[in-house]
Amino acid sequence: MLKVLFVKALLRISSWLPLSVNQMLGSLIGIFAYAFSSDSRKVTQTNLRLCFPELNDTEIRSLTWDSLIETGKTGCEFGYIWHAPLKKVLSIILRVSGQEILNSALAAKKGVIVLAPHLGSWEACGPFLTNCAPTTFLYKPPKLVGFEESMVAFRSRGNASLAPTNRKGIAMLIKALERGEIVGILPDQEPNEEGGVFAPFFGVSALTMTLISRLAAKTGATVVTIFAKRLSQGEGFEIIFGAARPGVDIEDPIVAAAALNLSIEDCVRQAPSQYQWEYRRFKRQPDNTKNALYR
């Protein structure tokens, strides 16, 4: 209970600070994570070596440094984005690229599945999407017991609804798509074995969710990507939309998962330092063993 209260207090305090100050504090956290050889640094370096074998050790260290700083900024932005008035949050989105991709998909009136990978400030994508159309976000309950109610309240502002990762939540997503609305999903989280297949991600086999292809095949919804690229010096963000790769909406789970991962790669390559590389993306192996590189 005390831990939940402490987290809530930190989020509230960060909402009182300018975005630039939050990002400066996040930078310091990232620097400490790198300097003290944290687990985040080790996992980040492992993932970068796997995904970018063409980079030398100096380049890997440089990208690791940048990545940990950007991840620190992401964490410190949560309170600002969750607590600030929606109008204020929308005011820090300074540019939008590819808006026509979303508009075209909405005009088809078959629903839009928006993929928001852990890139840049994914929390900033939510208020922008709900300002465009009613949006239902799929969410995974947080590990911090007692914080779920607050998280749902933060993310349910405006035209937003939240759907848990269970049968009831999946039914909510289908109904939203049938109404021609937006469904937002973080596509790069590792699913359970029943809900995923192995497919290449940056050339490395990764357990990948099949939910997106099943939803798209069932409803005829269009699949697009989104991320909020962090601009320099605490200016704000640029929302960037993209078209998902062909095949992401077909029933063949292996082909669809490969197309899904390529769609995520297309986003990450535009801002590689802003991706959450400290996530153990390749923890499980196709032979049902755990990746020894993470030990």
Place of tokens 């100096």: 58
Per-residue pLDDT, averaged over 172-184, amounts to 97
pLDDT tens sequence across 39-90: 999 999 999 999 999 999 999 999 999 999 999 999 999 888 988 888 989 9
Alpha-carbon gap, residue 184 to 6, rounded angstroms = 29
* 83 phi and psi angles, rounded to 5 deg: -95, -30
Residue 284 has pLDDT above 90, yes or no: no
Q: Give the pLDDT score at 249.
A: 93
pLDDT tens sequence across 118-176: 999 989 999 999 999 999 999 887 777 667 777 777 787 878 899 998 899 999 999 99
Q: Could you tell me the pLDDT band of residue 3, with boundaries at 50, 70 and 90?
A: low
Handedness of CA 229, 117, 167, 7 (dihedral sign): negative
**Number of other CB atoms surrounding residue 163 within 10 Å:** 21
**Number of other CB atoms surrounding residue 226 within 10 Å:** 26
Alpha-carbon gap, residue 242 to 145, rounded angstroms = 35
Alpha-carbon gap, residue 41 to 49, rounded angstroms = 12
Q: Could you tell me the pLDDT band of residue 191, with boundaries at 50, 70 and 90?
A: confident
**Residue 138, H or E segment:** strand 135-139
Give burial (CB, 10 Å; 0-12/13-18/19+) of 42.
middle
Residue 1 has pLDDT above 70, yes or no: no
Q: Give the pLDDT score at 143.
A: 73
Percentage of the chain exceeding pLDDT 90? 72
Name the residue with higher pLDDT: 263 or 293. 263
Handedness of CA 144, 148, 150, 152 (dihedral sign): positive
**Summary mean pLDDT of the chain:** 91
Q: Could you tell me the pLDDT band of residue 7, with boundaries at 50, 70 and 90?
A: low
pLDDT tens sequence across 247-256: 999 989 999 9
What is residue 205's three-state secondary structure? strand
Alpha-carbon gap, residue 160 to 152, rounded angstroms = 10
Measure CA of the first residue to CA of the last residue in the chain; give whole Å: 31
Q: Give the pLDDT score at 2.
A: 64
Q: Could you tell me the pLDDT band of residue 98, with boundaries at 50, 70 and 90?
A: very high
Residue type, 176: A
247 φ/ψ sector (left φ>0, alpha ψ -120 to 50, else beta): left
* 145 phi and psi angles, rounded to 5 deg: -65, 130
pLDDT tens sequence across 12-36: 888 888 999 999 999 999 999 999 9
